[in-house]
Amino acid sequence: MRWASAVDTDSSLDSAVERAAEKIFNDLGKQDPDLLFVFVSSEHASRFEAVAELIRREFDGTFLFGCCASAVIGGGKEIEDRPAISLTGALLPGIKLRGTHLDAAQVPPVYAEPRIWEDVLHMTANQQPSFLILADPFSFETEALVKGLDRVFPASTKIGGLASGARQVGTTALYLGDRVYRSGAVTLALTGDIQIDAIVAQGCRPVGEPMFITASHENLIREIDGNAARDVMSDLFEKLSPADRDVFSQSLFLGLAMRPDANEYVPGDFLIRNILGMDPQSGALWVNAQVPARSVVQFHFRDAAASALDLERALLEYRKSPKYVPSSGALLFSCAGRGADLYGQPDHDSNAFRRLIADVPLGGFFGNGEIGPVQDNTFLHGHTSAFAVFRHR
Domain boundary among 245, 275, 301: 301
207 within a domain of the structure (yes/no): no
> What domain count does the chain have?
2
CA angle 367–369–373, rounded 5-degree value? 120
Instruction: Kindly state whether residues 6 and 144 are assigned to the same domain.
Output: yes
What type of residue sits at position 60? Answer: D
Shared domain for 224 and 77, answered yes or no, is: no
One domain, residues 149 and 285: no
Q: What is the pLDDT along the chain (393 residues), one digit of tens a residue?
A: 999 999 999 999 999 999 999 999 999 999 999 999 999 999 999 999 999 999 999 999 999 999 999 999 999 999 999 999 999 999 999 999 999 999 999 999 999 999 999 999 999 999 999 999 999 999 999 999 999 999 999 999 999 999 999 989 999 999 999 999 999 999 999 999 999 999 999 999 999 999 999 999 999 999 999 999 999 999 999 999 998 998 898 899 999 999 878 888 888 899 999 999 999 989 999 999 999 999 999 999 999 999 999 999 999 999 999 888 877 999 999 999 999 999 999 999 999 999 999 999 999 999 999 999 998 899 999 999 999 999 998
pTM of the model: 0.95
Distance (Å, whole) CA 354 – CA 315:
10
How far apart, in whole angstroms, are the C-alpha atoms of residue 68 and residue 169? 14
- CB atoms closer than 10 angstroms to residue 196: 22
At residue 241, the 3 state secondary structure works out as coil
- On whether both 220 and 247 belong to a single domain, the answer is yes
**Amino acid identity for residue 169 in this structure:** V
H-helix segments, 132-183: 142-152
Range of the domain at 269: 212-301
- Tell me, rounded to whole angstroms, the distance of Cα 329 from its chain centroid: 16
- Sign, CA torsion 286/292/293/298: negative
Give the DSSP letter string of 190-240: EESS-EEEEEEE---EE-S--EEEEEEETTEEEEETTEEHHHHHHHHHHTS
Q: What is the 3-state secondary structure (H, E, C) of 334-384?
A: EECCCCHHHHCCCCHHHHHHHHHCCCCCEEEEEECCEEEEECCEEEEECCC
